Chains A and B, each alone.
Chain A
Amino acid sequence: MSLHTLMFGWEYPPLHSGGLGVACQGLVKGLLKNGTRVTLVLPMNASHDEGAQLAMRGPGQGMDGDEPDIRFIESALQPYEGTAEYEERMIAAATANGQPFIDLYGPDLGQAVERFTAMSIEKTKDVQADVVHCHDWMTYDAGIRAATYHRKPLVAHIHATELDRTDFHPNQWIAERERSGFLQADRIIAVSQYTKNILVRHYGIAADKISVVHNGHNVSAPVAHHNTIVSSAIHKRAPLVLFVGRLTLQKNPRQFLDTAKIVHELRPDVQFVMAGDGPMLPELMDHACALGLTDCVSFTGTVTRKEVDQLYKSADCFVMPSLSEPFGLVALEAIAQGTPVILSKQSGAAEVIEHGFKVDFWDTDKFADCILTILREQPLAEQLIAEAPSILHRLNWQNQANNVMSIYRDLLKT
């Protein structure tokens, strides 16, 4: 008997390419490949995203094929902008803790979540699923309702906690939504042991209720070199050190600049690229100037998939200094393009990637030293490039979806 899962997601490519959306899509595709049927419920602002909606299959289609059955719940919120704004406010939350929720977030995100929750049963009444599976706190209430209505077990997937996003200064209302989801779920899937530990230590969730399923990566062929605007902006022969990610507190982009400062003192020929956009961009530009790095740091702003791959390809090493990273898909992307990686120890990726350097997120000096070592030692760089990709074969979405299916079966047995 094939399984059927009813999923509640919050973002999904091409509507959004944040970590949650990418991971959600990878998992859905992996499940479909393994013969599990997927009905996916997503929030959608119809007036803004008609094109994107058409790009994906509508309700009822592709039930047995390689596409999920996607159902949209209209909301006033555009997920893309909403999330950006949300993140901006998170920084405010981190610095001005204790303010009432409504002042910090405005009514939009809360409303969107409420509407999504309210519509969750109506949109799924006809679905004959075996299990309900929801992704991150925004969808937990919807998941809880649907699971109760359909009388099916509930799986809460956690891609990032409120603590990760806020340097452990959470918005209490959100942290409560998360906790309530964790408590009411029959099983929790964490994207790393690192995240599982946060759930156990900070949310007080029983460890035996949490399964770890690392994110996967669908191995794409390394890109060929193209002359894009991004790559021509980079001095060709200079060694290049790369940061990729949204410029938010969680990604610890300031650390990258502080590290660059040390590297620059010893190796003035090295170039640094920060790829990605985010609310901290102006602050980071100021910081780069203050550090005297104007000639060697470039900010790309928003980049396309192709451009990012190009950057990975040109880079001599990739640095992920995140404060708290549940997984860190960018690390796998860098490895796929043949770039040596230096990762924050406070990340899920550091658990699974063996051929790379791992540094505590606060250890600027060590980050710098690892960069300098990789740049100086050709044999080391060669070995990292040659050996690291083995992880990509182990962590592919089809394998990871299989692990998720075992969890489903386990739940259905009891």
Chain B
Amino acid sequence: MPAVCFYFQVHQPYRLKDLRIRHMDCEHPAYFDEEKNRQIFRKVAEKCYLPTNKLMLDLLNRHKDFHIAYSLSGVFLDQCKEYGPDVLASFQELAKTGKVEFLAETYYHSLSAVASIGEFAEQVGMHVRAMEELFGQTPRTFRNTELIFNNEIAQIARLMGFSGIIAEGTDHLLRGRSPNNPFRIPQFRVSRGQERAIGTKRPLAERAKDITVLLKNYRLSDDIAFRFSDRNWSGHPLSAETYADWVQHNDGHTVNLFMDYETFGEHQWADTGIFDFLEALPRILGARGIPFFTPAQAIDTWKNKHRDLYDVHSTISWADTERDLSAWTGNRIQQSALHAAFALEHAIKASEDAELLNVWRKLLTSDHLYYMSTKYWNDGDVHKYFSPYESPYEAYRRFSHALCDLRERVTIGATSAVKTKQRTKKHATISTGRKIQDARHKNATKRETNKRNNEITNKRTSIS
């Protein structure tokens, strides 16, 4: 009889304003829709975060063997500070029980793992620091954005210092094996460049000797996350008793139930009975002797036993039926947007402007690309459900305006000539203007070298 491992994803992106090129001509506006973000945050807080956290706290106090895990994105935590200190406090209450594991992820919920290893390591580092600061624990388990995973990412997570990583249990990779047992990854070395990049920015003190993969049991996870309120589903209405039967009939070590936290109260409304279901589950599973583990506990309790190989050459994720990267990079505008955003990395970082860096990183949030997906348009699909914009093209329009403006801001510092500014504004697409960035980068490098020389001179002076 397996244990149950719950991990909940908590995330909110910064949605973009209805930006217009015309209004960006004279001044640089704020890109993010403060009002809408606040409004959505408060709505979800009232429907999901606050009531679910209250219930979770109660369950953790009531049931000795009940443990859960969260991954809270950094941009969610930033929004907590802006729009919901009460929500943050309720998560901190949960942390105090000592029965909650907080996972590490990229601070900005970004696709940096597949675009820039330097940025990837920096964002994970930022997130680890935030977990330490806010919840007093250093993460041991890594969850990449949207469970984006491949052999290399797993290896990099190990080099970053994580001993556990979670991934989607996809059928074609499992080939009939159960997702309920911990897996290992193939052994290989990443390139020296990558190793160096991680080495200088390692989020944890030292690299891990080994890393264990926990796989999402998507059938049992989706029964709660997607099908719970589906009246056409044969399992509807789902009782905690029935669900416990299904769990009990599974083999393996842990049934890993990974889902969006917004499942409770937001995707599945309170009137579907989702809270009653959640309330009953620990009691019913407990009565059957089924314990709850966090990911770290699941890995610890499995120690020294055989682990099968989970070999992932092409990148997987937990999104859509494809379970690959196509939700974010499936079409031309998505690819263009992703490429253009990361093309600014050098210039932004060379500017040493904290505000620009923060804005740029908020634009790296994967949701911006997700909203541009045109995959199953005709089916009135989940992309549409989650998108705050009326179409993928609207998403691209807003995003491209923000990115073009940001590029201009970063180039103002580099090339003071106003003429160049105007020219880039009107004609550069989001994927051009590279030359200026390079110039900016060179200037910055020069400045840095100068700075370093000065420092050396200063040191010499002080020594002498």
Contact = CB atoms under 8 A, between A and B. Distances in A.
B374 A387 contact: yes
Given A356-B393, A379-B333, A369 B20 contact: yes
Contacts of B430: 377
A356 to B, nearest CB: 7
Contacts of B427: 376
A275 B401 CA distance: 31
Nearest to B404: A376
A363 to B, nearest CB: 10
A378 B391 contact: no
B443 to A, nearest CB: 26
Contacts of A358: 390-391
Given A383-B331, A383-B333, A372 B396 contact: no
B394 A357 contact: yes
B21 A377 contact: no
A373 B18 CA distance: 13
A317 B390 CA distance: 20
Contact of B20 (A355, A365, A378, A382): A365
Contacts of A368: 22
A380 B333 CA distance: 6
Contacts of A55: none
B22 A357 contact: no
Contacts of B431: 378-379
A52 B397 CA distance: 48
B426 interface: yes
A380 B391 CA distance: 13
A380 B393 contact: yes
A273 B138 CA distance: 63
A262 B393 contact: no
A372 B21 contact: yes
B429 interface: yes
B46 interface: no
Contacts of A357: 391, 393-394, 397
Contact of B397 (A262, A370, A382): A370
A382 B336 CA distance: 11
Interface residues of A, number: 26
Interface string B52-92: 00000000000000000000000000000000000000000
A95 B336 CA distance: 48
B25 interface: yes
A267 interface: yes
A384 to B, nearest CB: 7
B22 A262 contact: yes
Contact of A379 (B21, B335, B428): B335
Contacts of A176: none
Contacts of B335: 379
B400 A377 contact: yes
A373 B401 contact: yes
Given A365-B20, A369-B21, A384 B393 contact: yes
Interface string A370-394: 1011001111101110110000000
Interface in A94-149: none
Contacts of B401: 373
B457 to A, nearest CB: 46
A221 interface: no
A373 B336 contact: no
A354 interface: yes
B209 interface: no
Contacts of A376: 21, 400, 404, 427-429
A290 interface: no
B377 interface: yes
B343 to A, nearest CB: 13
Contact of B21 (A355, A373, A378, A387): A373
A30 to B, nearest CB: 22
Nearest to B23: A365
B120 to A, nearest CB: 25
Contacts of B396: 373, 377, 380
A373 B332 contact: no
A1 interface: no
Given A266-B21, A354-B391, A369 B332 contact: no
Contacts of A382: 332
B331 A373 contact: no
Contacts of B336: 377, 379-380
A371 to B, nearest CB: 10
Contacts of A262: 22
Contacts of B397: 357, 369-370, 373, 380
Contacts of A355: 374, 393
Nearest to B19: A369
A376 B423 CA distance: 12
Contact of A383 (B22, B332, B400, B404): B332
A368 B431 CA distance: 21
Nearest to A357: B393
B22 A373 contact: no
A320 B390 CA distance: 18
A388 to B, nearest CB: 11
A377 B404 CA distance: 10
Interface in A55-85: none
A373 B333 contact: no
Contacts of A380: 332-333, 336, 393, 396-397, 400
A264 B134 CA distance: 52
B23 to A, nearest CB: 9
A372 B401 CA distance: 10
A340 to B, nearest CB: 9
B190 to A, nearest CB: 31
A379 B22 contact: no
Contacts of B394: 357
Interface of A: 262, 265-267, 354-358, 365-366, 368-370, 372-373, 376-380, 382-384, 386-387
18 contacts: A266-B22, A355-B374, A357-B394, A357-B397, A358-B390, A358-B391, A372-B22, A373-B396, A376-B21, A379-B335, A379-B336, A379-B429, A380-B333, A380-B400, A383-B331, A383-B374, A384-B393, A386-B332
Given A379-B335, A380-B332, 18 more contacts: A355-B393, A357-B394, A357-B397, A365-B20, A366-B20, A369-B20, A369-B22, A373-B396, A373-B400, A376-B427, A376-B428, A376-B429, A378-B429, A379-B429, A380-B333, A380-B336, A383-B332, A387-B374
What 8 pairs between A and B have smallest CB-CB spacing?
A379-B336, A383-B332, A369-B20, A379-B332, A373-B397, A372-B21, A377-B429, A383-B333
Interface of B: 20-22, 25, 331-333, 335-336, 374, 377-378, 390-391, 393-394, 396-397, 400-401, 404, 426-431
